[in-house]
Amino acid sequence: MTPPPLSPRILATGAAPIPTAKAWAAGYDGRSGPAIDMTQAVPGYPTHPELAIRLAEGAASPVQARYGTIDGDESLRTALAADIGRVYGASLDAADVAITAGANLAFAMAITVLCDAGDQVMLPVPWYFNNAMALTMQGLEALPLPCRPEDGFIPDPDRAAALIGPRTRAIVLISPNNPTGAIYPPAVIARFAALCRTRGLWLILDESYRDFLPGDALPPHTLFQDPDWRDGLVHLYSFSKAYCVAGHRIGAMVCGPRVRTELNKVLDTLQICPPRGPLPGLAWAIDHLAGWKAGNRTLIAERAKAFRQAVEPLADWRIDALGTYFAYLRLPDSAPDAMAAAEALATGCGLFSLAGPFFGPGQDRHLRLAFANAGLDAIAALPARLLTLE
């Protein structure tokens, strides 16, 4: 008997990188000491104790256990709109915000609304692998926009303009960036917004790591101050990192009424409503945990500094980019290509990283390490582990 076929789009989608890296990790025998896991970007500290209590209360609430509105509780949408207004010096309200079951789903739902099968979506390379996977799953084409280490992996609007074709529907920017940690200057973001406006494209701006920007990088841009932003911008946000609630799967999409009208169909179909238990606690957290978040931002900055101090003295390794949660390392010339190198580090010395090819074409000589996951002792142990490849 011939089994029925599977979806060609899913078959054409690459394997999920995190499980692949975890499978390598299973081969480590502990010979070099405790494993150092720098694969997935997760906060290396717990959530605030009072928020944890409120999350538990929300999980136990019979009200929050019921279905809610498809775009999330109004209290959280109102709080997030006000928070965005404070950060960006703009005026937003709850009607601009939809709460989603994580930022990954927000992206998938955004491209469902904005694009049709066969369209192109431009992704700066190195790209966030789940974005590329989502495009393939929906019959869309990822249009690579190469970014250079000598430019700090900041995408070039002029290069983007030259690549736009008749099937290009949207440009995606992630700042602070995953996987490089690069922070895009406001002027660059403004130029991409102008390019999209001129060429009739959507700009999808993912700022999931916004809360880890240094104070002198705020506001990250002025797009929300444009009275017409709702006509061309879709903004994505995640609560996972800032509030240490990754497993609760809460994200957000900010967009104008034209997108929201069509988005409601997608929200109702794909999520019914976001997970409701965490929502009251997060609405409280936005207004009460600014100081705690600032302390965590300092903690992550200290880990970034420690990472640089540990790795920069290694003669044959080069930090091509470092910021917020991530370091993007160029492998020594003597090392194997990234997939083999990442596997060798995982099985041989217990250093778990993600190989560059997960992040798009031309990344065979890079590794991404999420140092926010690790304590200072683990970061100090990095040089000895990396040198096992030489």
Whether residue 181 has pLDDT greater than 80: yes
**How far apart, in whole angstroms, are the C-alpha atoms of residue 178 and residue 372?**
13
3-state class of 323 per DSSP?
strand
Share of the chain above pLDDT 90, in %: 95
pLDDT in tens, 325-359: 999 999 999 999 999 999 999 999 999 999 999 99
For tokens 């099968």, name the residue.
117
Please tell me the predicted confidence (pLDDT) of residue 74: 97
The answer to whether 229 and 92 have CB atoms below 8 angstroms apart is no
Are 8-46+291-389 and 60-288 the same fold in CATH? no
Average pLDDT over residues 359-370: 98
pLDDT in tens, 226-235: 999 999 999 9
**How far apart, in whole angstroms, are the C-alpha atoms of residue 175 and residue 168?**
21
pTM above 0.95, yes or no: yes
Which of the four pLDDT bands, split at 50, 70 and 90, describes residue 390?
A: confident
Higher pLDDT pick, 278 / 44: 278
**How far apart, in whole angstroms, are the C-alpha atoms of residue 296 and residue 191?**
31
Please tell me the predicted confidence (pLDDT) of residue 29: 93
Please tell me the predicted confidence (pLDDT) of residue 216: 79
Please tell me the predicted confidence (pLDDT) of residue 5: 95
Q: What's the Cα-to-Cα distance from 362 to each of 145, 233, 332, 342, 357, rounded to whole Å?
A: 11, 29, 16, 16, 7
Please tell me the predicted confidence (pLDDT) of residue 141: 98
Average pLDDT over residues 50-60: 98
Which of the four pLDDT bands, split at 50, 70 and 90, describes residue 381?
A: very high
Domain ranges of the chain: 8-46+291-389, 60-288
Polymer length in residues for the chain: 390
Question: Which range, of 80-94, 112-126, 142-156, 208-222, averages the lowest pLDDT?
Answer: 208-222
The answer to whether 145 and 378 have CB atoms below 8 angstroms apart is no
- CATH of segment(s) 8-46+291-389: 3.90.1150.10
H helices within the chain, ranges in order? Answer: 8-11, 17-25, 49-60, 74-88, 103-114, 129-137, 157-163, 186-199, 257-270, 279-288, 290-311, 338-349, 376-380, 382-386
CATH class name, domain 60-288: alpha beta
**How far apart, in whole angstroms, are the C-alpha atoms of residue 328 and residue 51?**
33
Please tell me the predicted confidence (pLDDT) of residue 1: 87
**How far apart, in whole angstroms, are the C-alpha atoms of residue 380 and residue 318?**
17
Please tell me the predicted confidence (pLDDT) of residue 48: 98
Please tell me the predicted confidence (pLDDT) of residue 370: 96
